[in-house]
A and B are shown apart, each in its own frame.
Chain A
Amino acid sequence: MTEFISPTLSYSLLSPILVVFAGAIIGVLIEAFASKSIRPIAQVSVSIGTLVLALVQVWRIRNSSSTTAAMGSVIIDGPGLLLQGTILVISIIAIFLIADTENFAAAAAAIPGSPEERESIARGQQVTEVFPLTLFAVAGMLIFPVSSDLITLFVALEVLSLPLYLMAGLSRRRRLLSQESALKYFLLGAFSSAFFLFGAAYLYGYSGSISFAGIREAVVGGTGNDVFLLIGMAFLSIGLLFKVGAVPFHAWSPDVYQGAPTPVTAFMAAATKVAAFGAMLRIYYTVFANAEWSWRPLLTAIAIISMVFGSLVAIAQRDVKRMLAYSSIAHAGFLLTGVIALNKAGLDASIYYLFAYGIATVGAFAVVTLVRDSAGEVTDLNRWAGLGKRSPWVATSFATFLLAFAGIPLTSGFIGKFSIFSAAYESGATAVVIAGVLSSAIAAFFYIRVIVLMFFSDPLEDATSVLIPSILTRITVLFSAVVTIFLGVFPSPLLDFISNIAIFIR
């Protein structure tokens, strides 16, 4: 009979994750016991407090590394902590947007158009569940890039995904579209999870181990059956590529980006990408590194297709959220370039790119929440015409984010693109660099078209108004814009910080 071994946990190293979980549970308790009137303010303060505290914890342990923090299920190292920090920063500014409950349905369970719905609106109900849901998702995201076995990885994937499926359906306006997008996201997400599990099972069959270290040993030793390895790698990759929205696993993203409440889109677009790319970087850089000849050509193809497809299709979009969705598909391609690079420069560049891109994405969606008419947000691009005239600051910040996406110098996006492309070129992936540069040229076209529309077109008759931003939204937009410019002009501190501590331990 095997003896029961009590687990030893390093609470200090796990504290960011634990803090967020605790915050989420407090959030649930508030939902259950606090009175309706104090719920919103209580939830907002608990969420922000939790995330800030978690960020402080990450900062405190920034130079630590350990493979045994949770009995080998979690690896705490530089890249993991950097990504956790990035996720937390993004979550904090995204929570500021979520705090504007104007975007959320009054009662999520009420059928759209039903008397219950009208009644709940009349009573001024608010969906405060969204805060604990966000915290649970954040907790999953924090675990995802530091997981070091397949089971933990899968659990983290589900913990981060399930709340997101729900949150996508909470939109106050156009609720049917929102619920449809939630269902789509859930079904396709469940499908991809199945692929992921299938791959995990094959990898177990191949190596006889679920831990990353065990699989890596088998890959390095080349002892197992290579067919199992290839199938396992392929299916695991599908699951991950689905999460980052790379072609051909991108079909969900335009619908979900469009249907979900915009603050949720902001959070999902930025933070999920960081978490998923974090996990990908760890898996491809450590576990599968020695099998690079099997996966690099395929990922190269996917990266090129994602960049070109995303950029081309974005040109045809008339809805700002869908346009940003296709742009995020193109960016998934750019980020895959960093995975393909498979060198230290590629790792540093990817982390930098994720940070810069995540911040700019939240900022861009924050601006989208501000442009409204009497029926809610206006996402039809034609009706953004003349925005620069009526609200120059809002339009200028949006233009800043677009220029960063386009990779114009003096914005964070340019340094990101330069570093990620140079890393890929260094590793000999010339084709992907050329495709990247060309699709950047294509992408510039539609980013600039929006700028033209905002600044050079005259406003239409049925003018959209720009909401006076709440103080939290204002902080988000301002912070994102300042960071985007700052990282474009003085990227050195962050680049040096990343390159000093971003070393995978195995």
Chain B
Amino acid sequence: MNYLTLIMAIPLLGAALIATLPQSKSLLAKQFALGTTLVAAIATIFMTTKFERSNTALQFVESYDWIKAFGIKYAVGVDGIALVLILMTALLTPIVVLAGWNESEGGRWSTKTFYILILVLQTMSFGVFAATDVFLFYVFFEAMLVPVYFLIGGYGSGERTAAAVKFLLYSLFGGLLMLASIIALYVLSGEQGGHTFDIGALSQLEMSSTTQNLLFLGFFIAFAIKAPLFPFHTWLPDAAKSATPGTSVLLLGVLDKVGTFGMIRYCLALFPDATKTFTPVIITLAVISILYGAFLAIGAKDIKRLIAYTSISHFGFITLGIFAMTTQAQSGATLYMFNHGFSTAALFLVAGWMISRRGSSTIADFGGLQRVTPVMAWSFFIAGMSSLALPGLSSFVSEFLVLVGTFTRYPVAAVLATFGIVLAALYILIPVQRALHGPTEPGNENLNDLNLREKIAIAPIIAVIVLLGFYPAPALNIINPAAAQVVSQMGFTDPAPTHGGK
């Protein structure tokens, strides 16, 4: 059964159906979109149950010739890492559709177009995680910019056009650097036994160390822009501020994961030696991201920018975990990607509701929400606690794994990164205090609490955050074998604990 192609086809079919609806039926378009994403989510969950956890090879593999002249294939397959990201995408999209039921109304175009863009984006997100052909990956990687660009520029708020263009140009620039590397890989593969884009075959290529370093950089910069890692992060706050909350969830929760996922799947697998060369630099950048993002978040006055800055800090943790090259850190990084998707979704969605009720996104304009709108306030609180990695919530597990895994190899970096946790407490608790507690700001007395639709949307996210906080095994069981495989393929073994067993 071709599960991967199936789950990629479902949103596309939904988009085609919505396209045939008349312009005036915007409610029907929303219902169709919700239905489609729910079907896709159910199909993905079903696929996950069929996944053999202990098997480290790629599963659900399919491969067909696409452009034979260049050896390009439509080839898909997943390991545990790709699977959890696909699962995350599939679960987040219906929540985003439900939570942002009225998001499309302030747009330049119709509701119909909004949901077509969302669904096309979902297909491409599945594709980008599932692709095992570098060319196919690149096509998804670049093509998914187009729907996001229109989602930000067409349905966002404030300086939406400028933000959309900034996002697109940054990403395109990174993408073109990657294209240069891909062309080089293609030519090298041609010299060494036939043109191919298969990751497995490409990872066997012989390359001089200079070539490997240059090609690594082409890929890495593209992913660092996407992730985003300091100093390539400046597009993110603008994009996140201007996009609708739902789009921001998909942008930070799903799209940016392509960057960190790409580092694991492509940078590490294709260029193991170059990875080792650049690891010290990348670890440094990751630590800077963690601390710098946190400081920016502490100083942020706008709630959407604040969430974007916290994400820069979190992506620092993920990158740190990926390049620490221990099994724990690698597993932690992947779990972190999954958890970050949910905690950021919760933050953005609740913040979106707060903003649309209050008509302002400045933190200082809120205050005392806990008395006026208790359910909304508690939801924001839980999301915030998850973001600062409170024990018992899911992010704690992943953050802890990353730090423990990093400490065994890079103790200094791990210690510095630990300060990120302290700063996280600051950047979350300050807005929590200002927005939720204290005296009710004038103008906030009559805000409505969450309605049923919004409660239904936020409930599954909080459920995931709490459940995986207490019992992360279901996710880790899928991730661990794949993460261990990545580390061992790189030729690393986990360092023995220095003080163990005395």
Contacts and interface: CB of A to CB of B under 8 A. Distances in A.
Contact of B179 (A418, A449, A496): A418
A426 B70 CA distance: 13
A455 interface: yes
A486 interface: no
B69 A456 contact: no
B169 A426 contact: no
Given A410-B143, A425-B187, A426-B187, A434 B180 contact: yes
Contacts of B190: 426
B183 A425 contact: yes
Instruction: Give the interface centre of B69, B143, B179, B186 by most chain A CB atoms within 10 Å.
Output: B69
A403 B142 CA distance: 12
Nearest to B139: A409
Nearest to B135: A418
Contact of B153 (A414, A422, A449, A456): A456
Contact of B67 (A408, A421, A492): A492
Nearest to B65: A492
A452 B168 CA distance: 11
Interface string A464-501: 00000000000000000000000000011001100100
B57 interface: no
B126 to A, nearest CB: 16
Secondary structure dominating the interface of B: helix
Contact of A455 (B65, B66, B108): B108
Contact of B169 (A425, A440, A444): A444
Contacts of A505: none
A50 interface: no
A434 B177 CA distance: 9
A444 B180 CA distance: 16
Given A422-B186, A433-B183, A492-B66, A441 B173 contact: yes
Contact of A389 (B108, B146, B153): B108
Contacts of B67: 415, 491-492, 495
Interface string B245-267: 00000000000000000000000
A445 interface: yes
Given A389-B108, A426-B190, A455 B165 contact: no
B179 A455 contact: no
Contacts of A444: 168-169, 172, 176
A503 to B, nearest CB: 15
Nearest to B178: A437
A419 B169 CA distance: 23
Nearest to B141: A409
A298 interface: no
Given A415-B67, A445-B169, A456 B108 contact: yes
B164 interface: yes
Nearest to A430: B184
Contacts of B138: 409
Interface string B138-178: 11001100100010011000001100110011001100110
Contacts of A348: 69
Given A410-B139, A422-B183, A456 B154 contact: yes
A42 interface: no
A495 B69 contact: yes
Contacts of A110: none
A444 B160 CA distance: 19
Given A452-B165, A492-B68, A438 B187 contact: no
A422 B186 CA distance: 7
A422 B69 CA distance: 12
A9 interface: no
A452 B153 CA distance: 8
Contacts of A499: 69
Given A422-B183, A492-B66, A456 B161 contact: yes
B146 A408 contact: yes
Nearest to B181: A437
A100 to B, nearest CB: 30
Contacts of B172: 441, 444
A448 interface: yes
A433 B179 CA distance: 10
A441 B176 contact: yes
Given A389-B108, A422-B187, A425-B183, A437 B177 contact: yes
B183 A452 contact: no
A25 B450 CA distance: 78
Given A418-B179, A426-B187, 16 more contacts: A408-B143, A408-B146, A410-B143, A422-B187, A433-B180, A437-B177, A441-B172, A448-B168, A452-B164, A455-B154, A456-B154, A456-B161, A492-B66, A495-B67, A495-B68, A496-B68
A-B pairs with the 3 shortest C-beta distances? A409-B139, A495-B69, A456-B161
Interface of A: 348, 389, 403, 408-410, 414-415, 418-419, 421-422, 425-426, 433-434, 437-438, 440-441, 444-445, 448-449, 452, 455-457, 491-492, 495-496, 499
